[in-house]
Structure 1
Amino acid sequence: MLKLFALDRFTILLVVMVILATIVPVSGEPAEIFRVVTNVAIAILFFLHGAKLSREAIVKGILHWRLHALVFAFTFIVFPALGLLAKPILLPLLGQQLYWGFLFMCFLPSTVQSSIAFTSVARGNVAAAVCSASFSNLIGMFITPVLVSFFIFGRSQHNYDPTSSIIEIALLLLVPFIAGQLLRSYVYPYMQKVPNIVKAFDQSTILMVVYGAFSGAVVAGLWHQINGLTLLYLVIACSSILTIIMLLAYFVPKWLGFNRADQIAIFFCGSKKTLASGVPMAQILFAGQPLGMIVLPIMIFHQIQLMVCGIIANHWSRQNKPEIKSSSVME
């Protein structure tokens, strides 16, 4: 499941989408039709995400409030603080649009699928990871627009109101998620029969969003604004913030007395950022902005976090095998 030091098929396809958008970008009326189709696919995707989450996981995980509070702190306090503190260094190196994208990445919630998968592989507290990652995504639908409004658009657009963006994000992501949760008993048995189709739809939706985002950016002159050195600075910035967060997510839970299984869940849930929710949110929050510049940092960070977490999860899996038993909550 985890391919170390190698590009998996999904990552290769992400690169292909960027290349395709560069060569054959969608624009004009076809772009508007493509956007509508993509939004429908996103709504279905989050409906399926809601159907995946078991009620037992919610009940079992929701009581572990200390763990969720710490993951929340890493995701929505420490990450944004580091992004803001890095402004004097990154703004001159990356330029305003890429720095906005980097800061937006810092404001995003945690991942769901990969956080759970890595926690399971490393033999951590899977139930807590399911709850924490899912709640992070739900809360992020409200917190991320507020952070973007206050720290990105606060000075450049004094009349920017996040309320409409929150409502739009809720309609696109939250309402389908809740519907999936309510209809789980009817939907999930069918999802179990076709897991490969569900996974393919999940990844295809993200690929569609990335293609649409980069098409708009290419039409607006993306590759005339970014050079190789700027990309290198961005990779270094993403790698640096991931290193700092991972060190904190590794040592702080130890200092606070969490057991080993909880430490693993906190580490993987608190150090990651979501691409699946991030790109749709960017489309809404940064409408009219060069979207490719905004989503490029999260795409780069996404691949780095998967590679690093894959290495660590496999190492901990061998290390923790005699001590920690993993439990399955994804019924």
Structure 2
Amino acid sequence: MLKLLALDRFTILLIVMVLLASFLPVSGVAATVFSVITSAAIAILFFLHGAKLSREAVVQGITHWKFHVVVFTFTFALFPVLGLIAKPILLPLLGKELYWGFLFMCFLPSTVQSSIAFTSVAKGNVASAVCSASFSNIIGMFITPILVSFFILGQSKHGFDPTASILQITLLLLVPFILGQILRPYVYPYMLKLPSLVKAFDQGTILMVVYGAFSSAVVAGLWNVLSGKTLLILTLACSIFLTIIMLLAFYIPKWLGFNKADQVAIFFCSSKKTLASGVPMAQILFIGQPLGMIVLPIMIFHQIQLMVCGVIANHWSKQSETELE
């Protein structure tokens, strides 16, 4: 039956994480501890990616400017434009606060850890994904507040200091990655002997992110703030929006002539929005506004994108393995 439904173990585990978070969300002190553990797992994951990639691959990733232009255009141009175009449809259906939240989601940078992890699982260009996801989050600390101030608040009334976020990204991503590069001669031989362990760590990190993020949404009142009808409309809007973006992210890199590894990385880096950076930014940018309503769209969109990307990444991974046989 599972084969007929095209479900594998990883997909089932993703569904289990969502169900577990819905009925047994981690909260309070436990959520703090879980967040620390997840951060440690992310740091280790970046360390492994640093150790796995050759210096030549890293240099190629940094200098792959066409790749980064495409991802940047999707994240900070195409997403916002589509969100603004959808205003006549979404505003009457969702109301002002929820539409603000939907538009805020469109202005956010891409995810970091899940973009890289999904790219790795799907055998994509991890070096370029690392550089692109990092750049997206750093530049997003400046671009997102400007877009919010111009298109949502009209005029920014509160300052925004990106220093802490930049420091956090640097410590969580770049430092472990650089350490992995430095220690690559000692670590990489062991990684070659344990490829299944590295893959399991990639997928395990994604499962932790899914559970932690969905728990936060549930604890914040995901199932209580809105009626079932409005929640269904919002979920459908997020699903349709993600479908449109993913179709564009799938075909445009092909039309532009990128190779398969780049196409995979562009797909995952271009189609996602960050919840981890989105909620803190919302708390700063929307002081005095209904924060729960504003962050709800990114909470729902984030869960949908992780579920869909998990299935796609695993499918492409199996497809890649089959092609090599």
Q: TM above 0.5, one fold?
A: yes
Contact 1:47–1:176 (CA under 8 A) maintained in structure 2: yes
Q: State the distance in 1 between where 2:317 and 2:41 align.
A: 31
Where does residue 123 of structure 1 map in the other structure?
Answer: none
Change (3 A) 1:167 1:76: same
Alignment map for 1:71-220 (pairs within 5 Å):
71-90=71-90, 92-93=92-93, 95-96=98-99, 99=102, 102-103=105-106, 107-108=110-111, 111-112=115-116, 114-115=118-119, 129-152=125-148, 155=153, 158-220=158-220
Alignment map for 1:1-331 (pairs within 5 Å):
6-59=6-59, 65-90=65-90, 92-93=92-93, 95-96=98-99, 99=102, 102-103=105-106, 107-108=110-111, 111-112=115-116, 114-115=118-119, 129-152=125-148, 155=153, 158-224=158-224, 225=226, 227-251=231-255, 253=256, 258=257, 262-273=258-269, 278=274, 280-282=276-278, 285=281, 293-305=297-309
Residue 37 of structure 1, CA deviation: 1.9
Where does residue 329 of structure 1 map in the other structure?
Answer: none
Aligned with 1:56: secondary structure?
Answer: helix
Aligned with 1:272: secondary structure?
Answer: helix
Residue 142 of structure 1, CA deviation: 1.0
Change (3 A) 1:61 1:214: closer
Q: State the distance in 2 between where 1:233 and 1:19 align.
A: 22
Change (3 A) 1:14 1:308: closer
Q: State the distance in 2 between where 1:306 and 1:211 align.
A: 13
Residue 285 of structure 1, CA deviation: 4.5
Aligned with 2:181: secondary structure?
Answer: helix
Q: TM-score, normalised by structure 2?
A: 0.73
- Report the RMSD for the aligned CA atoms in angstroms: 3.9
Change (3 A) 1:32 1:233: same
Contact 1:18–1:211 (CA under 8 A) maintained in structure 2: yes
Q: State the distance in 2 between where 1:142 and 1:182 align.
A: 23
Query: What is the identity, as a one-letter code, of the residue corresponding to 2:56?
Result: E
Residue 286 of structure 1, CA deviation: 5.4
Q: Deviations over 1:236-282 (max 9, x none)?
A: 1211222233343333x1xxxx4xxx354453333323899945545
Residue 153 of structure 1, CA deviation: 6.7
Q: TM-score, normalised by structure 1?
A: 0.72
Unaligned runs of 5+ in 1: 121-125, 327-331
Aligned with 1:230: secondary structure?
Answer: helix
Unaligned runs of 5+ in 2: 285-290
